[in-house]
DNA sequence: GAGAGTGCTGAGAAAAATTCATGGTAAGTA
DNA sequence: TACTTACCATGAATTTTTCTCAGCACTCTC
């Protein structure tokens, strides 16, 4: 037994707030401004709370109205997305994916042409984004997440562990101080991802060395940038071996110490729970998993604790 | 410009699905079964999708209907919660909090009486829960989370770092193999939290010791249980020093090696973003933060990297 | 200070939701 | 098998809700 406000009035409320005007909202909803005014009044009477403050010919959301709007917008958006998903043809060839930036540029992009060869009919609409997304609020179909694999209310498929090794440009290795033991890093610039400052410290632990104070340090906001900086001879960064394998085999990057730090994080393919996948979505998912197994540098080389598939 | 289905029909749809019957839904909504039938039909015509399969005198959700129901329920629930929050008196003395179990039993519970002394008017409704919760879907006002402090769309306040030390019962130490160096743990049972198996391995790294294979091992599902198991002389567990300080000072637990493992996780107080707090919520929040600073065992003793306040 | 733009209000008109009457189907029961 | 009951569908009638219209008020702009 629910206790809900007049729902149509909510639609009017949201449109009015969005447009900042009853008249404009009326235009959007194909009704007169008067109808909008009536609706808002009905809602305000029901709630017993003033949602808009009127002064002359302008209206403005009250603080209460603003707070309420956030939830109303969110809820209506969810309804809109769900309705669209239900209505839309089950057999579209378009797959919308959201991908962790580093994985996108260093892994997916280089292999896109292979995918398009295999599935010329499927159109991938790709979006780079860090962090989680709400599948109930977005038309995105699938995503590649970076993290611990512990996420609620979504289907999670393990793709690839992230093990970090130090990387630098070959030029740095020639011209600078030699790197024979981890401690030699004290004479170099260490490049940090600013949100993951501890990674170097952990790496030294694994390498069985004291944490050293580097000659210099550089903080960048993403692993994409730190790897690029290492390539530009700005210092030594920690990078995932698989993702940088092209740069390594081409000689743009070298690995001074083949000591991997297991971050216990990984890349995962995720999508909404209990959602029937389209043929295109299935194709992409299976291609991704197959392709990743073929490209995975670790697996055989460094056997670590087995990563779960995320609950 | 939104594209929304008839919203009132959604309410009817949700009630019908929940009740598993149009007649029952009608009763709930104070209308006839016929009205419900009409509404559902309108919705199905709009969507172009069958939501219920009718066979004789029974109705059942189709797969499409089930999928749609999830979102509709979610959205209506959000509206209900938001509406209730808006309508409810701003000045209630009730605060609903959800707390990580270990923190609840070992920290908050023992201090509850102090809170009630200071604020006899405020009623705390406490709920133990692991994992995140959606403040838009729940009437919970605040929560104590355990984790890395990186959560989106909520206000986060740092409370206390979690640093783990080995703990066991004094009896175990007397009767069993002595514990002089970390390696001696090989002769004991190690107690693991099953979802955080790596913690012992990391601790050995910090302790500067090889990871040993214990004589025996025990897996339990929460740190609450592992601590209890250690107390029962079942083995050696990793526990937070602050949370177990009572057991330690009372002699029920001892710390064989005062080597803390920084898990980079912590307890945080969180609540909805942009939400005006009630007087009672503010009181609890401030009490909690003050009290925690007074009780924090670390801080002075082990200076580690400073924990952020979580964006 | 006239005109345009916006919002409010109340009464009537239009639209939507509900009921009512009727008919169909399946399951339980004598 | 026939009867009863519980449930849902449908179309027409009715009630309720929503919308429009017309008149008024306010204020910003020129």
Residues B5, A205: C-beta atoms closer than 8 Å: no
Contacts of residue A89, defined as CB under 8 A and 6 or more positions apart, other chains included, come to none
Q: Name the nucleotide nearest A52; use CA and C1'.
A: C7
Do B94-161+265-295 and B163-262 come out as alike in CATH topology? yes
Nearest chain A residue to B78, by CA: A75
Q: Per the structure block, which two tokens stand in for B246?
A: 């009572």
Protein-contacted positions of strand C (CB under 7 Å):
5-11, 16-21, 24-27
Q: For chain A, how far is it from start to end, CA to CA, in angstroms?
A: 33
Q: Note whether B3 contacts A80, CB cutoff 8 Å.
A: yes
Here the tokens at position B144 are 């104590």
List, as ranges, residues 107-166 from B with C-beta within 8 Å of A.
131-132, 136, 152
Structure tokens at B116: 């009630």
**Residue A301: alpha-carbon gap to chain centroid:** 29
**Residue B210: exposed, middle, or buried by beta-carbon count in 10 A (0-12, 13-18, 19+)?**
exposed
Which fold does the domain B94-161+265-295 belong to in CATH?
D-Maltodextrin-Binding Protein; domain 2 (3.40.190)
B237 alpha carbon, distance to own chain's centre:
22
Q: Does residue B176 lie within 7 Å of nucleic acid chain C, judged by its CB?
A: no
DSSP state of A278: P
Whole-number pLDDT of residue B290: 92
CATH of domain A94-159+265-295: 3.40.190.10
Query: Number of A:B CB contacts under 8 A?
Result: 122
Q: In CATH, what class is B7-84?
A: mainly alpha
Token duo for residue A31: 């009704």
Does B152 contact A132 at a Cβ distance shorter than 8 Å?
yes
pLDDT of residue A307: 39
CATH of A163-263, one of 3.40.50.2300, 3.40.50.261, 3.40.190.10, 3.30.70.980: 3.40.190.10
- The reply to whether A34 Cβ lies less than 7 angstroms from strand C is yes
CB-based burial label for B212 (10 Å; 0-12, 13-18, 19+): middle
- Please answer whether residues A271 and A155 qualify as being in contact, where contact means their C-beta atoms are separated by less than 8 angstroms: yes
CA distance B15 to B34: 14
Q: A7-87 domain in CATH 1.10.10.10?
A: yes
pLDDT at A11: 95
The CATH class for the domain spanning B163-262 reads alpha beta
Out of A5, A79, A198, name the one closest to residue B72 (CB): A79
Confidence at residue B296, expressed as pLDDT on a 0 to 100 scale: 67
CA distance A42 to A47: 9
Q: What are phi and psi of B264, to 5 degrees?
A: 60, 15
Mean pLDDT by 10 residues, chain B (311 residues): 92 95 93 94 94 87 93 95 86 91 91 92 91 90 92 90 93 83 89 90 87 86 90 92 90 92 92 88 94 68 39 35
The domain ranges of chain A are 7-87, 94-159+265-295, 163-263
Positions on chain D within 7 A of a protein C-beta: 6-12, 18-23, 25-28
Distance A35 CA to C14 C1' (A): 13
pLDDT at B229: 92
Residue in A closest to B27 by C-alpha: A1
| Ramachandran class of A206: left when φ > 0, alpha when ψ lies in -120 to 50, beta otherwise | alpha
Give chain A's residues under pLDDT 50. Answer: 299-311
B197–A305 C-beta distance less than 8 A:
yes
pLDDT recorded at residue B298: 54
Contact of B278 with B90, CB cutoff 8 Å: yes
Q: What is the pLDDT of residue B306?
A: 35
- B177 in contact with chain A, both atoms CB, cutoff 8 A: no
């Amino acid at each position: 037994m629910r206790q809900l406000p007049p729902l149509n009035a909510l639609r009017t409320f949201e449109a009015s707030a969005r447009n900042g005007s009853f008249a404009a909202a009326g235009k959007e909803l194909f009704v007169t401004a008067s109808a909008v005014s009536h609706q808002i009044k009905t809602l305000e009477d029901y709630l017993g709370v003033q949602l808009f403050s009127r002064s002359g010919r302008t209206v403005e959301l009250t603080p209460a109205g603003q707070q309420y709007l956030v939830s109303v917008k969110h809820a209506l958006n969810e309804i809109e997305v769900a309705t669209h998903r239900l209505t839309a043809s089950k057999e579209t060839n378009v797959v919308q994916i959201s991908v962790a930036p580093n994985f996108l540029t260093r892994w997916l992009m280089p292999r896109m042409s292979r995918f398009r060869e295999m599935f010329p009919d499927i159109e991938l609409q790709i979006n780079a984004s860090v962090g989680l997304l709400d599948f109930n609020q977005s038309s995105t179909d699938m995503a590649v997440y970076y993290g611990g694999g512990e996420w609620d209310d979504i289907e999670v498929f393990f793709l690839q562990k992230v093990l970090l090794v130090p990387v630098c440009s070959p030029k740095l290795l020639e011209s600078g101080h030699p790197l024979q033991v981890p401690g030699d890093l004290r004479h170099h610039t260490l490049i940090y991802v600013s949100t993951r400052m501890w990674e170097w410290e952990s790496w030294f632990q694994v390498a069985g060395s004291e944490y050293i104070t580097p000659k210099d340090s550089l903080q960048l906001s993403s692993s994409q940038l730190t790897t690029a900086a290492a390539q530009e001879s700005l210092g030594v960064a920690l990078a995932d071996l698989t993702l940088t394998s092209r740069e390594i085999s081409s000689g743009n990057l070298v690995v001074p110490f083949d000591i991997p730090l297991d971050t216990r994080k990984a890349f995962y393919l995720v999508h909404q729970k209990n959602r029937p996948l389209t043929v295109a979505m299935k194709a992409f998912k299976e291609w991704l998993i197959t392709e990743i197994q073929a490209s995975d540098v670790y697996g055989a080389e460094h056997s670590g604790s087995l990563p779960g598939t995320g609950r």
